[in-house]
Amino acid sequence: MSSVKVLLSIKDENVARKAVDALRESSTNVSFEQHDSDWTSLLERLVKLKPDALLLDVGSAPTDLAVAIRQIKLQAPRTKIVAIHSVDDPKIILAAMRAGANEFLHPPFDESLAPALDRILNSSDVDVVPSSRGKIIGFLSAKGGCGATTLACHIAWELQNQTRKNVLLADLDLTSGLVGFLMKTPSSYSILDAIKNLSRLDDSLWKALIVEHRPSLSVIPAPATYTRWDHPEESQLTQALQFMRTQHDWIILDLGRSMNSIAAAVLEEIDQLFLVSTLEVVALHGLKSIVHGLFDQGEKLQLVLNRTPKMMDISTQELEKILGRSLYAALPNDYMGLYQSYSSGNLLNSNTRLAQHFGLLAAKIAGVPPMKSKKKFAFFG
C-alpha cells in the first residue's frame, strides 16, 4: 500500500492513544493527524485535508450516526470511514455499518488497523459517487440601491428557465432580507437556521429549510430579524456554501452592498462575483474602490452597469478606462416596470426590454445560447 493520509477523530483518550501507537508501528507509510475540535471544524478540516481515511469514534458524532456519516461523505466523498469504538458491541457494529462506515474496529489495533486500511484503500471505488459541485454566483451592489437584489432574483429565475437545472437563490444580505419578499416565499426558516445546524445538516433537513418558488428553483431567505450576535463566522459560511454545492447546480447569492464582512468571507468560495453599479457618482466611486481592492481576483470579478439611460454622458469605452476593467453587461432602466411588477407580487414580465436583458445576461453566465424572443435587443445600450 502506498503512502496514505489518515485523520483521527477519537474522543476516548485511551482508544486514541492505542490507534496512534498502531499507526506509528505500522510498516505502512502513513501520515496522520489528530483532530480534537468540534464537529463543524472536523467537517471543515476534511474538505481541506482530503484524507484517504477517517478514523471516527462513533461516540464523537453530535447527532445520529447515519446523519453524521452522510455529512462526512458530502464533504469528502472519497474519504473512507473506519468506525472506532472501545468495545466490539454487536449493536454498535451493526449501526455503524448500516450508517455507511467502511470498516469497524476496536482495540487492540496492533494487528487489525493496518490490514483494514489496506483493504478499504485498495478496494474498488465503483460505489463511490463523487459529490456534485454546483456553481456559486454572487451579486454585490457598489452602494445601496444599485439593484443587486433585483438582479439576483431575476437571474436565478432565468438560469432555471434557460438551463433547466436546479437553482438556489440564497439571501446573504442579512440586514435587508428582500429576497424572500420579492420572490414571495415567506418562511419560518432562514440561512441562519442552516448555519446554526451545520452539525446535523443533511439533504432531508436542507429540504425542510428551503422554500420551493417553483420546480427546480428554491429560495432560502435572510432572517426576519438580525442582530450582530447572530453574525456567522467565516468557516460557517464556507461550510454552508460547500454543502449548497452538493444540493444545487447553481447557487445565486444576494450579497448586499459594498464590500461587507459577509461578501469578504465568501469571496474565495464563490465562482463569479458580479459588482452592480449605476452611473451615479457615489456608486461609481464605490465600484472603483471595490475593483481596486479586488484587483487580484481576475476573471472572477465582473462589472454590471444597471439602469443605464438611452443616452449616456460617458461612453462605455471611457467608463471602462476609468474603472480599469471591461463591463460584462449594461442593463437598461425600467424603474416603473419593476415597481408595477413588485406591487403586483411578480417578477418583471418576460416581454419587457429589461427582462430580455436579464435573459441575455443569464445565458452569458451559463454559457448557453440565449432563448429566442419576439424582439431583439443589444446587450449594451
Query: What is the model's pLDDT at position 28?
Result: 67
Sketch the domain layout of the chain as residue ranges.
4-121, 135-366
What's the pLDDT at 132?
59
CA atoms in the 13 A half-sphere facing the CB of 237:
23
Q: Which amino acid is at 8?
A: L
User: Across residues 133-147, what is the average pLDDT?
Assistant: 93
Per-position b or e across 317-338, b if 16+ CB within 10 A of its CB:
eebeeebebebbbbbbbbeebb
Distance, first Cα to last Cα, the chain: 62
Cα separation, 273 vs 317, in Å, equals 22
> For residue range 86-106, what is the model confidence (pLDDT) as tens digits?
888 888 888 888 888 888 999
Say yes or no: do domains 4-121 and 135-366 share a fold: yes
SS3 content of the chain, % helix, strand, coil (to 5): 45, 20, 40
Between 161 and 77, name the one with better pLDDT: 161
Which residues contact residue 71 at a Cβ distance below 8 angstroms, ignoring those fewer than 6 apart? Answer: 43, 199, 200, 201, 202
Dist CA 60 CA 236 (whole Å):
20
pLDDT band at 125 (very low <50, low <70, confident <90, very high): low
Q: Is the peptide bond before 108 cis (omega within 30 degrees of 0)?
A: yes
Q: Where do the DSSP E strands lie in 46-183?
A: 53-57, 80-84, 103-105, 135-141, 167-171
For residue 1, the model assigns a pLDDT of 46
**What is the spatial distance between Cα 143 and Cα 159, in angstroms, rounded to a whole number?**
25
Look at residue 201 and tell me whether its pLDDT is greater than 90: no
Angle at 155 between CA 74 and CA 344, to 5 degrees: 120
CA distance 102 to 37: 23
- Asked if residues 95 and 65 have their Cβ atoms less than 8 Å apart, the reply is yes
| CATH architecture of the domain formed by 135-366 | 3-Layer(aba) Sandwich (3.40)
- Decide: helix, strand or coil at residue 330: strand
Output the pLDDT for position 373.
Answer: 63
pLDDT band at 171 (very low <50, low <70, confident <90, very high): very high
Residue 318 has pLDDT above 90, yes or no: no
Mean pLDDT calculated for residue range 175-202: 89
Pick from 1-10, 131-140, 155-164, 321-330: least confident:
1-10
C-alpha closest to that of 358 among 342, 338, 343: 338
pLDDT in tens, 340-361: 888 888 899 888 999 999 999 9
- Tell me the β-bridge partners of 137: 252, 272
pLDDT at 169: 98
CB 329, CB 380: distance < 8 Å: yes
Selected from 3.30.1330.120, 3.40.50.2300, 3.40.50.720, 1.10.40.60, the CATH number assigned to the domain covering 4-121 reads 3.40.50.2300
Read off the pLDDT of residues 274-311 as tens digits, 9 standing for 90 and up. 999 999 999 999 999 998 888 777 778 999 999 998 88
* Residue 84: strand pairing partners: 57, 105
* CA dist., res. 152 & res. 160, Å (int): 12
- Average pLDDT of the chain, as a whole number: 87
User: What are the C-alpha distances in Å from 209 to residues 160, 212, 250, 319?
Assistant: 20, 10, 17, 42
Category of 252 on φ-ψ map: left (φ > 0), alpha (ψ -120 to 50) or beta: beta
